[in-house]
Amino acid sequence: MAEIRRITIFYFSGTGNSKGVASWFCEFAVKKDIQCQLIDISKIDDSVFDIIDSNTLIGIISPVHGFSFPKITLDFIRNFPKGKNRIILMNTRGGMKIGNHVTQGLTGIAFMLSSFILVQKGYKIIGQIPFDMPSNWISIHPALNEKTVLFLHKKNYERVKKHSDKILSGKKDFAAYRNIIQDILISPISLAYYFAGRFFFAKSYYASNDCNNCGLCIKQCPVKAIEDTGNRPFWTFKCESCMKCMSICPKKAIETTHGLWLVAGILCSTIVSALLYKVALVNIDSALFKIALFSFIYIILIGIAYKIQHFLLKYKLIGKLISYTSLTHYKFWGRYKSVRDDKWK
């Protein structure tokens, strides 16, 4: 394999996990006198491709959402110009700490789908490497404490050194193959998340009464999914659930509306039951059809309910009641915060 002299790493990052791994990879590359450039996918300019020659090693790293790359990353890969460069794919998955061990997440179809698209464009995949960085999806679990976050950063820094040494010495590295069977088995979930699940989560974020309309979440959203409605932020279906808004809000005013999920779920189940057994007058046994119908109706309901909730939030008493139904409202749930390298290095 030809010697590597230059590397360009494209990254998408919400709370900083993927950016951190990309930065560490660059750090080890520079120590080997290899030129390294970091480019944020959410701020990319097409002109950047004009300065990447065919000898440059390209790295692409992004978090995994619903066992696949988020839409912004997949769109970037689909729009990637044709070329013959070598490419290394990396991702950050939800890692946890048990004792002195890091629990492994799952990549799903992220690498398989991306590799297929890029190979069709002429590229050569030389690596697929997952990193189990701290899970930041506090919509579904409490935030990890700082001690755990520090531990996971340190462990992944060591892993980045190990894998970067291998790649930058000219070898291939397909560490992701160790989980290939599990990734294939959960692929249906990846598809379900892309076509339905991500829309559920997109309509789960709202600004509580603590919001002071500073506009930071709107300005910093990497996919421009948050709109200014004049009185408080409004999340659209374009939201990628990258959790950046929740992690940077100075007032910790952004919460997940778990209560809305519950209400919409009960209404949806009632409507689906009526459609299947009363309106249709037939007993449809297809589980796939039932899931598809539930998802379709649920997305419609969640969109309507979210607008109603957004309107009602202007009344402080109702706003308080809505916040009480959100687990993210309570201090014990916490907020995910990435940590500076100087805290653990």
What is the residue extent of each domain of the chain?
A: 6-189, 194-329
Q: Who has greater pLDDT, 285 or 233?
A: 233
Q: 6-11 and 57-63 as β-strands: parallel, antiparallel, unpaired?
A: parallel
Q: Provide the CATH number for the domain formed by 194-329 in this structure.
A: 3.30.70.20
| pLDDT above 70 for 284 | no
290, 219 Cβ separation under 8 angstroms: no
- Is 345 or 245 the better-scoring residue by pLDDT? 245
| pLDDT over threshold 70, residue 217 | yes
State residue 279's pLDDT score.
Answer: 58
Element (H, E) at 117: helix 110-120
Q: How confident is the model at residue 193 (pLDDT cuts 50, 70, 90)?
A: very high
**Confidence grade of residue 275 (pLDDT, cut at 50, 70, 90):** confident
- Report pLDDT for 48: 73
Banded pLDDT at 65 (limits 50, 70, 90): very high
pLDDT at 263: 87
Q: Cβ distance 217 to 253 under 8 Å? A: no
- Predicted pLDDT at 267: 86
pLDDT of residue 207: 96
Q: State the burial class of residue 47 (Cβ atoms within 10 Å of its Cβ: 0-12, 13-18, 19+).
A: exposed
Instruction: Give, rounded to a whole angstrom, the gap between the first and last alpha carbons of the chain.
Output: 33
CA distance linking residue 173 with residue 129, whole number of Å:
7
**CA separation for the pair 19, 8 (Å, rounded):** 13
Give pLDDT, residue 312: 94
* Locus of tokens 């790295």: 59
Amino acid type, 33: D
Residue 192 CA: distances (Å) to CA of 115, 157, 188, 249: 20, 32, 6, 30
Residue 1 confidence (pLDDT): 59
What integer best gives the mean pLDDT of the chain? 91
CA distance 48 to 113: 24
Q: What is the mean pLDDT of residues 145-158?
A: 94
132 neighbors 322 (Cβ within 8 angstroms): no
pLDDT confidence of residue 273:
75
Domain at 6-189, CATH from 3.40.50.360, 3.50.50.60, 2.60.40.10, 3.30.2140.20: 3.40.50.360
Cβ–Cβ under 8 Å, residues 53 and 3: no
> What per-residue confidence (pLDDT) applies to 292?
80
Residue 97, SS3 per DSSP:
strand
Q: Say what the pLDDT of residue 54 is.
A: 83
To the nearest whole percent, how much of the chain has pLDDT over 90? Answer: 75
Average pLDDT of the residues in 139-167 = 95
Mark out the alpha helices in 169-243 (DSSP H runs): 180-185, 187-192, 198-202, 216-220
Beta strands in 141-281 (DSSP E): 205-207, 226-228, 233-235, 254-256
Better-predicted residue by pLDDT, 204 or 52 = 204
Cβ 5 vs Cβ 55: under 8 Å: yes
CB under 8 Å to 270, separation ≥6 — which residues? none
> Taking 70 as the threshold, does the pLDDT of residue 204 lie above it?
yes
Q: What is the DSSP letter of 236?
A: -
**Cα–Cα separations (whole angstroms), residue 98 to 64, 91, 119:** 21, 21, 38
